[in-house]
Amino acid sequence: MSQHALLSAGCKAWRSITCPRSELRLDLTLGCGQTFRWRETADGHWTGVMRGKVWTLTQTEDMLWYYVYNHQKNPGTENRQKQKVEEKEQLLVKRSKRMIDIKQEEVGMCTVMSETDNKEEDLLRDYFQLDVKLGDLYRNWSTMDPHFKHTANIFTGVRLLRQDPVECLFSFICSSNNHISRIQGMVDRLCQTLGTLLCKLDDVAYHDFPPLQDLTDPSVEMRLRDLGFGYRARFLQQSSQTIVNSHGPDWLNSLRSAPYLQTRDALRTLPGVGLKVADCVCLMSLDKFEALPVDTHVWQIAKRDYNFAAGNSQKTLTDRVYKEIGDFFRKLWGPYAGWAQSVLFCADLKKFQKLREEIPVMKDEKTELKNKMKKRRHEGYTQEQKREKGNKYQRS
């Protein structure tokens, strides 16, 4: 039977990237609700599907370790597949003097192929956006925001993922009026029903996310309703149909090069996509780091921790209050505001309550933040007065 890989087993197919925990914590990054494809399959080991491959990830203090499984193999053809790999290895060695190391390890019905071309490492670096220096961002936010500073001392290494836009969009359409564990179940059922089987480990089947075209079929809505998707089933089918028929299959990827507000407005034309879902997709798959998803949870953080008063008399989050909260945090944190917000969102989740209890109480935190924001507003007002005087002088 195929089994999930363990680093402690000493398998040669494990590979690694230098990456300290301060730059990435897998438990926080993969468990904070920005992706729904990963599960902790052993202590500190996360297994999931990314870029059409099944991966197991784990980390030591300064290294990110990864193990990649091949597609499922039929037991009846296992010997033939093994023979083909051995023949391929011999042929490559004969044809080239350069080192091309194809290592094969059988793990039940799944095999791991490891090559020296670093393609898998590149995929992983892109997915975790490892070129972004998270430590520098944390230091910058901590300088500007005392509340963030003492929270960040415990919640280090929360990164934003660069997900596939199709998977990200349709996963967050499922998030409407939902919680993380239920969204995970819905995304799993969607992939099991319409996606390609990639691998089976310890009786857990891993499927790829279904292609956009496969979601356009009118029968998809009823199939998903039968799986408990409710009204979201119609949004999934209609949004996929709109994209394919009106924009083309590569449209979502093309939005990565468009301005943030233009991208958000374009996404909002799709059925089932409001401000929050659009911002989630912008931030987590389309390279819009200033996008800041706001739900009632984030609204509470703004009011409780930042004395944000707008909309206090309202029971529902209006578009106006949504925009004001986003602008407030963008002014406070700068161009990577969406990344900073994800740290505080993660820190506020119930599943990380024990970790949150380690955060020291900062008595004067709100007063210090309030004074900083007041000073900024005053400086902005003073600069505006100076500009106005200058304009009057020029006119006279």
CB 260 within 8 A of CB 266: no
| Alpha carbon distance 225, 229 (integer Å) | 5
pTM: 0.82
Element (H, E) at 42: strand 38-42
Could you write out the DSSP letters of every residue in 166-200? HHHHHHHHTTTT--HHHHHHHHHHHHHHHSPEEEE
For residue 118, the model assigns a pLDDT of 84
The answer to whether residue 82 is catalytic is no
Pairing of strands 53-59, 38-42: unpaired
Cα 384 from chain centroid (whole Å): 39
The dihedral region occupied by 44, where left means phi > 0, alpha psi between -120 and 50, and beta the remainder, is left
- What's the token pair of residue 159? 């990164």
Count of CB atoms situated within 10 Å of the CB of 306: 20
Percent of the chain surpassing pLDDT 70: 79
Phi and psi at residue 68, to the nearest 5°: -115, 130
Of 11-15, 34-38, 82-86, 155-159, least confident by mean pLDDT is: 82-86
Choose among 155, 71, 77, 63: nearest CA to 113.
Answer: 71
Q: Which one of 73, 276, 288, 363 is the catalytic residue?
A: 276
For residue 250, the model assigns a pLDDT of 95
For residue 101, the model assigns a pLDDT of 38
Of 232-241, 245-254, 277-286, 378-387, least confident by mean pLDDT is: 378-387
Q: What value does the mean pLDDT take over residues 352-356?
A: 90
